[in-house]
């Protein structure tokens, strides 16, 4: 699909800047599109995901490419740490009251890298999302993680919806 193609292009750029990783975990993996893109690029990487939606978690699990757990990323996740933890379009939907719990999971589950692929805004704002208030939040997630957990920025980039080859939001 064109969505998977766009994700493969995006992940090839991301993974190009990361040295030797053996394991990755996605917090909020949905049906596993990011995990599928990663697997195409790095077939040997050990993948895992956590997804609150049971139906989506079953779909992701059925891909047979990752160890998928059904559960909320707001609760303490007690799994063996991986080289890289990430979210993609998930933190934007977490009520800011609960963000610290997700940040804690991202950091404590990672041995080396934390990646956030989220909408950015220099200061926290909320948007109407599919007609609902307080369902989409933009802020500087990476900055908050770096400040709160003494993390170092290695790289950043921007994905654009008008990209002719691999659009993204």
Q: What is the DSSP string of 112-139?
A: EEEEEE--B-SS-EEEEETTEEEEEEEB
Residues contacting 32, CB < 8 A, separation 6+: 49, 59, 60, 61, 63, 65, 66, 68
Tell whether the model's pLDDT for residue 163 goes beyond 90: no
C-alpha 124, offset from chain centre: 19
Quick: pLDDT tens for 44-76: 999 999 999 999 999 999 999 999 999 999 999
- Yes or no: say if 37 and 30 are a contact pair by the CB < 8 Å rule: no
Tell whether the model's pLDDT for residue 86 goes beyond 90: yes
H-run or E-run covering 107: helix 99-108
When pLDDT is averaged across residues 101-125 and rounded to a whole number, the result is 95
- Closest to 87 (Cα-Cα) out of 73, 100, 69, 101: 73
What is the spatial distance between Cα 135 and Cα 119, in angstroms, rounded to a whole number? 13
- To the nearest whole percent, how much of the chain has pLDDT over 90? 72
- Closest to 54 (Cα-Cα) out of 62, 43, 46, 42: 62
């Amino acid at each position: 699909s064109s969505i998977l193609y766009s994700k493969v292009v995006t992940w090839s750029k991301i993974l190009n800047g990361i040295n030797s990783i053996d394991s990755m975990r996605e917090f909020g993996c949905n049906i596993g599109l990011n995990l599928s893109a990663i697997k195409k690029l790095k077939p040997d990487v050990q993948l895992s995901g956590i997804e609150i939606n049971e139906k989506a978690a079953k779909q992701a699990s059925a891909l047979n490419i990752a160890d998928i757990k059904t559960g909320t990323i707001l609760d303490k996740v007690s799994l063996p740490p991986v080289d890289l933890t990430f979210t993609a379009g998930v933190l934007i939907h977490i009520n800011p009251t609960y963000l610290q719990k997700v940040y804690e999971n991202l950091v404590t589950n990672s041995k080396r890298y934390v990646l956030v692929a989220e909408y950015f805004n220099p200061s926290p704002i909320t948007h109407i999302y599919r007609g609902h208030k307080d369902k989409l939040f933009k802020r500087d997630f990476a900055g908050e993680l770096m400040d709160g957990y003494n993390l170092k920025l290695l790289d950043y980039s921007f994905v654009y919806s008008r990209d002719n080859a691999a659009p993204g939001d």
